[in-house]
Amino acid sequence: KVQGINTLYEHQSLAYHSVLDGFNVAVVSGTASGKTLCYNLPVIDSLIKIPQGRALYLFPTKALAQDQLTNLRETLNEMGIPGINNANIYDGDTPQHIRSVLRQQSNIILTNPDMLHTGILPHHTAWKDFFAALRFVVIDEMHAYRGVFGSHVANVIRRLKRICRFYGSQPQFILTSATIANPKELAEGLIEKPVKVIDQDGSPHGEKHFLIYNPPFVDKRLGIRQSSLLEGSYLAGELLEEDIQTIVFGRTRRSIELILTYLRQRDTSQNPNRVRGYRSGYLSRERRAIEEGLRSGEVKGVVATSALELGI
């Protein structure tokens, strides 16, 4: 009620009741359809009933984990439930001196598969209390775990399950995904357990435009077209001049820096924080500042590699 949510969408209600019935679930719905509530609701409900329980959230990128932490903490603070307000990120950016405190005091840990693989599972004895009380594992954006990377993540999940059994827990899995053709196959391949797929997206959707742009010819006879990098920079510049918040994705660090330089040269505001770059290699505090700037509207343009999760 505090957040203005008076009723659940169909997929949120189905997810909540399915988790309550003991199923491992995979929620498949569109962008901005409220998938976060599909796992936050049953997890928080369970922690209210069993305060000593624990939950582990896995996100493919640090950026998405930061974004979700903000929402989760706001929800917990608004609910004001004593003892269940401790959600924290545990990843490569977490300072060493507070890691032991987070392990002991967090009801919900948000991390990524790389950190789970290198920074948590090898040190499971230090996490024994957490694993013994682990009730839920959330795997967000599961469509990111495909191919060779997906097979690696599946093996990390297999290790996680084995360690949980060793400490006497059998957590439920809640997975979310964008719309894909084979959600059941992918989810069951990742966790090696039966999964109930919930794909009845009950959320409303605003109008979307998908524009496919072919750069103009430089030499039509030879079939040579204008650089897609230059054309992409030009189009992004046009949007920013109209004060439309814009994210430009590129494949490489070099292309990111080139587009960023072009857009800043074109920007008449002369405010270096209006258009920002985002890639691996930036300090964590720089990345957090960019993410917050996107949310607040202070940052109008971001040129990013896939390090910036599209979900935010």
pLDDT at residue 84 is higher than 80: no
Q: How far, in Å, CA of 209 to CA of 85, rounded? A: 39
pLDDT at residue 85 is higher than 70: no
Where does the chain have alpha helices with state H? 10-20, 35-49, 62-79, 96-105, 113-115, 128-132, 147-166, 183-191, 228-241, 253-266, 284-296
Output the pLDDT for position 202. Answer: 80
The amino acid that residue 245 corresponds to is Q
Q: Which of 188, 81, 171 is nearest to 134 (CA)?
A: 171
Q: Which of 231, 212, 232, 214 is nearest to 223 (CA)?
A: 214
* pLDDT tens, residue by residue, 264-297: 988 888 787 899 988 777 777 888 888 888 888 8
Q: Are 236 and 263 in contact (CB under 8 A)?
A: yes
pLDDT at residue 309 is higher than 60: no
pLDDT at residue 237 is higher than 80: yes
In this structure, the chain runs to a length of: 312
* pLDDT tens, residue by residue, 12-45: 999 999 999 999 999 998 877 889 999 999 999 9
* pLDDT tens, residue by residue, 156-215: 999 999 999 999 999 999 999 988 889 999 999 999 999 999 998 888 877 888 899 999
Q: Strand 87-89 and strand 246-249: pairing?
A: unpaired
Q: How far, in Å, CA of 182 to CA of 187, rounded? A: 9
The helix/strand/coil state of 172 is strand
Split at pLDDT 50, 70, 90, the class of 3 is low
Q: How far, in Å, CA of 22 to CA of 125, rounded? A: 28
What's the CA angle centered on 160, arms 159 and 166, to 5 degrees? 90
Q: What is the mean pLDDT of the chain?
A: 89
Output the pLDDT for position 82. Answer: 59
